[in-house]
Amino acid sequence: MSAIDPAVRSRAASPAGGVSLKANAERFGLLAAWAGVVALFGALSPEAFLTWINFSTMFSSQAILVVLTLGLIIPLTAGDFDLSVASTMVLSAMTVAVLNALHGWPVGAAIVVALGLGFLIGLINAAFVLFFRIHSLIVTLGTGTFINGTVLWISGSQTVGGVSMALVDWVIVQRVFGISLSFYYAVILCAALWYFLEYTSPGRRLLFVGRGREVARLSGIAVDRVRLLSFIGSGVIAAFAGVLYAGTTGSADPLSGLTYLLPAFAAAFLGATSIVPGRFNPWGSFVAVYFLVSGITGLTILGVDTFVQNLFYGGGLVIAVALSQLVRKRQPQNFS
C-alpha cells in the first residue's frame, strides 16, 4: 500500500459486506464535483462552454499535464518527491528540438535520446537519495534547477522551432472524434499504470514500500531497488511528456514548461482523494486534471482574468492535501 492508503479497503465495505454509501461518496465525489462544474458553467454560458470544440480542446490541451502527473505519482506512491519532473520535461522537449531542428537528426533518434536523458535523470536522483540518504525533496529541487540551467545553455535562452512535422502530426494534427492523439496516449499510459499498480507484483511492492518502508524491508522487499525504479519511471515518463510537448507546439521553449509543476502536484494530491481514496492513483489523477481545467476554462469564458489559473492550482493543491489527510484520518504522511 502507499504512504496514504490507510485501511481504505476496510472502510469500503459495510457490515453487510456491500459497498457503503460513504465509500462510494469518497470514491466518486470528485467525478460528481467535475459534473457539477460542467453543469454550472454550462448553465452560465451554454453557447461557449457546452460545445464539443471546447471539450475536445480541453481534452487535447491537457494531455501533457496528465502524462506529467502520471510520472509524478510513481515516486509519490513510494513515499518520495520528484520536483524535477517539469524540468525533465522541458529538457526532453529541448533535446528533440535541438537535435532534430538544429542538427538534422531524424526525429525518432532525437526522441530516443530524450527518453534516455529522462532515464539518466531518474538514475541520478535515485543515486543521491539512496546512496547519500538525502531527502528526495532537496535532491530533486537541486537537480531540477541544474536541468533548468542546462536547458538555457543548450538553447541559448531562446525558443527553438522547426521540429519535424511528422512528430507534430502524430501528437496534435491527427485526431479521433476531434481530439488529438496526445489525449489517447495519456489514456493508454493511465490504463497501463493502473494495471501495473493493481495487478503486477512490482506494482504491489511499490505500494507496500510507500505504506511503510521498514515493514516492507522486514518482509523481504528490496526497498532501495523499488525506489530506484520509481525515480527512473518518473524520469522516463516526464521525458515522454516532453516529447508530446515538442510535438504539440512544434518547438521547445526553455521556460514555459516549468509552469506545469504546480498543476501536476495539485492533480496528484487531488486525485488521491478520488477513485481509490487515500492513495495516489492514475484514474484519480486523470479526473483531477480535467476537473481543474474545466473550472479554469469556465471562469475564463466568463471573462475572469488569467490569474484565476494560479488561484485554482495553488488553492487546489492546498485543499487537495487537506482532503487527503481527512481521507486518511489525519495520519502523518510518510515521505522521507
Structure confidence by residue, pLDDT tens digits, 147-166: 999 999 999 999 999 999 99
C-alpha cell at 315: 488553492
At residue 335, the 3 state secondary structure works out as coil
- Indicate the burial class of 22 (C-beta count within 10 angstroms; 0-12, 13-18, 19 or more): exposed
Give the separation between CA 223 and CA 43, rounded to whole angstroms.
Answer: 51
Q: Which residues pair with 161 in a beta bridge?
A: 251
* pLDDT for 122: 97
Residue type, 179: I
Q: Which residues of the chain have pLDDT under 50?
A: 1-18, 330
- Indicate the burial class of 184 (C-beta count within 10 angstroms; 0-12, 13-18, 19 or more): middle
Query: The cell 494531455 sits on which residue?
Result: 63
At residue 157, the 3 state secondary structure works out as coil
Give the separation between CA 112 and CA 117, rounded to whole angstroms.
Answer: 9
Query: The cell 509519490 sits on which residue?
Result: 76
Q: How far is it between the farthest Cα atoms of the chain?
A: 66
Continuous segment of H or E residues that includes residue 199: helix 181-199
* pLDDT for 328: 56
* pLDDT for 131: 93
Continuous segment of H or E residues that includes residue 122: helix 107-131
Structure confidence by residue, pLDDT tens digits, 190-223: 999 999 999 999 999 999 999 889 999 999 999 9
Give the separation between CA 241 and CA 289, rounded to whole angstroms.
Answer: 15
Beta-sheet strands, E only, within 148-292: 160-161, 175-176, 179-180, 251-252
What domains can you pick out in the chain, each with its CATH number?
A: 26-327 (1.10.3470)
Residue of 180, 197, 209 whose CA lies nearest to 64: 180
At residue 305, the 3 state secondary structure works out as coil
At residue 91, the 3 state secondary structure works out as helix
Residues with Cβ within 8 Å of 287's Cβ and at least 6 positions away in sequence, in order, are 30, 31, 34, 271, 274, 275
The string over 140-175, giving b where at least 16 C-beta atoms fall within 10 Å of a residue's C-beta and e elsewhere, is bbebbeebbebbeebbeeeebeebbeebbebbbeee
* pLDDT for 233: 97
* pLDDT for 28: 84
At residue 160, the 3 state secondary structure works out as strand
* pLDDT for 300: 87
How many CB atoms lie under 10 A from the CB of residue 52?
10
* pLDDT for 10: 43
DSSP assignment of 37-72: HHHHHHHH-HHHHSSHHHHHHHHHHTHHHHHHHHHH
